[in-house]
Amino acid sequence: MALRGVLRAGEVCIRVMDMALARRHYGDRMGLHEVMQDEAGQVYYKAWDEHDHHSIVLREADAPGMDYFAFKVFDDATLDALELRLIAHGIAVEHIAAGVYPHSGRRLQLLLPTGHTMQLYAHKDQVGNSLGLTNPGVVPDEGVIRGFRINRLDHLLLGGNQLDACVRLFTEVFEFDLSEKLVDHASGMSLAVFLSCSTKPHDIAFVFQPDNKRFHHVSFLLESAQIVIRAADLIGKYRISVDVGPNRHGITRGATIYYFDPSGNRNEVVAEGYVHYPDTPTLVWDTREIGHAVFAQDNVVRDSFLNVLT
């Protein structure tokens, strides 16, 4: 296929305040597969249908939030080309040697205009999804798909006050598309922007916050809206704190549930949404329809959804 360059969100490192509770949440409840614990005590997870070694890293800390996120790129040549483009854009780039991050090749690290730490890498060891590569079939062994039945890491939403600068960086340097945005009706100010490097409605998004370096949520893909409802049953069964129950976004059209891990980090499970192509026009929403834009089934924007970030 023609998809090259930046491929997808490949890794998010989340700070948790109690590793035992976090393991129960992300592993036992959500159903991610724990693949290793390093010497520093960080715990690594993958979803069942991800081939790469891991996509989620948990680090025990005094406060919740996100340490960094990383996007996987097509190959080393892409990594080299992106470094030159970042420098030309005025972004400082730090080199991280292969092996510093487990099962990973060399990385580039940079700070976004919103203060978030982003990494780029071309290689991560692949361990498979249990189906194999020859005559793989469609259903893994019993017990491989469990919990919320998460297929993979999908996207993340970050908060800060430099949204337009982030749009320029991601569109001009990384060649993402600005798929959708929410603007203030009176001023035209960007309140939320959604960027895609694939055929998904978004691979990363930013929401306006007065302070930079805020973490809104990490999102996990489920197979269908029906599986989203099944996840809601388990969220209720395990008394997991819910921000927004089953609903559908106007922006991206995704079927969604938002809930919190034991440390207060927001998670999302999502399914469906539309197919994005490079020639799809940018869809623009404004604050006259903010309720429908954010939660299209009840048209209500929860105060917590706008203001609770870690």
Q: Which residues are marked as active site? A: 155, 202, 217, 249, 258, 268
The residues, any chain, with a CB within 8 Å of residue 144's CB and separated by 6 or more, are 33, 48, 130
Distance CA 63, CA 298 (A): 33
Distance CA 96, CA 105 (A): 9
Sheet-wide strand order for 254-260: 242-248, 254-260, 266-272, 214-221, 152-160, 204-208, 190-196, 177-183, 283-286
How far apart, in Å, are the Cα atoms of 224 and each of 194, 254, 274? 21, 10, 13
Q: Which helix (H) or strand (E) holds 88?
A: helix 76-88
Q: Strand, helix or coil at 290?
A: helix
The neighbour count for residue 41, using CB atoms within 10 Å, is: 10
Judge whether 200 and 154 are in contact, CB under 8 Å.
Answer: yes
Distance CA 155, CA 217 (A): 9
Distance CA 8, CA 6 (A): 6
